[in-house]
Amino acid sequence: GVSIGHSLLSLYEVYGDERYIETAKEMAEFLTQDAQRFGNGIFQHTVNSETYNFPEQAWVDTMFMAGYFLLRIGVMLDREDYFEDGLRQYHGHEDFLQDPVTNLYYHGWDNIAGNHMSGVFWCRGNAWAAITMARALELVPVTHPSFMIIEGSLRDQLSALVRLQHESGLWHTITTDPQSPLETSGSAGIAAALLTKGRIYNKYTQKSIDGILSKITEDGTVTGVSAGTAVMKDTAGYRGVPDKRIQGWGQGLALTFLAEVLKIKSNPY
């Protein structure tokens, strides 16, 4: 429920209105004081619903929604406690979710069952992890021990993902399953992370520009975006997620990617 906190922080940066930062502070306090955790202080994935409960489950989405939010507000308010709690989320989710063989991120981890549930390397999940780590490296000092941990995780993940890029410039919704649909939002997030690493991935980012632009209609609708996706039971569940409607995360990740393209073009070095 704190994902909107990112918007509040950006609005505060632009307008300086105290209302925005006060509400964001309440969210940060909720996370640090009240949010459910397990293991070594890792946030349990929760949704605003009494119907759905995910005891001791870590989902990769949380890295972006809560972990990165705590880093941002920690820097903005010079609150080391928020900042370090954010880093704890990065390292904990890496430990639970990054596969040491493929270097890809699993969608989820069930700490009670001791398994990765679906065992799927979901495209948008890898995008959340990649863009989150890429942004963290802009906030974490190189002299902080966490910098090299995050940098290493991202480097290994991206080097695995570029090998799985489809010739269209997009990625499949299950990154390792060519039979699953190509998916625009995850592709945009992955490509945005690749862009932050610069020229080393130039060949892949050029392809992704063409692929993502081909999915944007004249009125700005980003198409081919999969609907909200729980950790499904199996690969068939991910293949069957509908992708015909406009989705906020599709528009948002495409904007993130296009903003990164413009940033690189205006400052190529």
- Do 50 and 128 sit in the same domain of this protein? no
Active-site option among 17, 61, 110, 234: 61
Torsions phi, psi for 254 (to 5 deg): -65, -40
Is the predicted pLDDT of residue 25 greater than 90, yes or no? yes
Residue-wise pLDDT for 90-121, tens only, equals 999 999 999 999 999 999 999 999 999 989 99
Which one of 76, 97, 118 terminates a domain? Answer: 97
- Do 15 and 35 sit in the same domain of this protein? yes
- Model confidence, pTM: 0.94
- Do 70 and 126 sit in the same domain of this protein? no
Per-residue tokens: 214:
């081909």
* Active-site annotation holds for 81: no
- Do 87 and 119 sit in the same domain of this protein? no
- Do 77 and 133 sit in the same domain of this protein? no
Is the predicted pLDDT of residue 267 greater than 90, yes or no? no
CATH number of residue 197's parent domain: 1.50.10.10
Domain that includes residue 212, residue range: 100-269
Bridge partner residues of 42 (DSSP): 38
Torsions phi, psi for 178 (to 5 deg): -65, -15
- Do 72 and 141 sit in the same domain of this protein? no
- Do 127 and 234 sit in the same domain of this protein? yes
- Do 31 and 43 sit in the same domain of this protein? yes
- How many separate domains does the chain show? 2
Neighbours of 90 (CB within 10 A): 23
Distance CA 201, CA 162 (A): 8
Residue-wise pLDDT for 57-100, tens only, equals 999 999 988 999 999 999 999 999 999 999 999 999 999 999 99
- Do 31 and 117 sit in the same domain of this protein? no
Which one of 56, 71, 97 terminates a domain? Answer: 97
